[in-house]
Amino acid sequence: MRVLLSILGVLALLSMVPQARSFFHERCPSGYYNCRMKCNADEYAIRYCADWSICCRARKSEFRRKKK
């Protein structure tokens, strides 16, 4: 029984590897994204690029200022 469960566990882990691999892409998908080592203050990270740099995207909204 333990052997069967361990085999099923290994198969489950191997089935997850291709899904995790799709997280890494060769380059950023469009012109709105930039691959760099650190995102700017007005950007946020999307995914990792092939050379382990970070794919950054500009934020859509500006921070709203508080009314005085």
Which pLDDT band, with edges at 50, 70 and 90, does 32 fall under? low
Residue 25 has pLDDT above 60, yes or no: no
Torsion angle (degrees, nearest 10) of CA 41, 47, 49, 52 = 80
Asked if residue 26 belongs to a domain, the reply is: yes
- pTM: predicted TM-score of the whole model, two decimal places: 0.45
Per the listing, tokens 């029984």 go with 1
Which pLDDT band, with edges at 50, 70 and 90, does 61 fall under? low
Asked if residue 12 belongs to a domain, the reply is: no
Asked if residue 3 belongs to a domain, the reply is: no
Angle (CA) 51 53 56, round 5°: 140
Domain residue limits at 31: 21-60
Count of the separate structural domains present in the chain: 1
Is the CB of residue 22 less than 8 Å from the CB of residue 48? no
Asked if residue 5 belongs to a domain, the reply is: no
Asked if residue 31 belongs to a domain, the reply is: yes
Residue 11 has pLDDT above 60, yes or no: yes
Q: Which has the closest alpha carbon to 57: 26, 24, 34, 29? A: 34
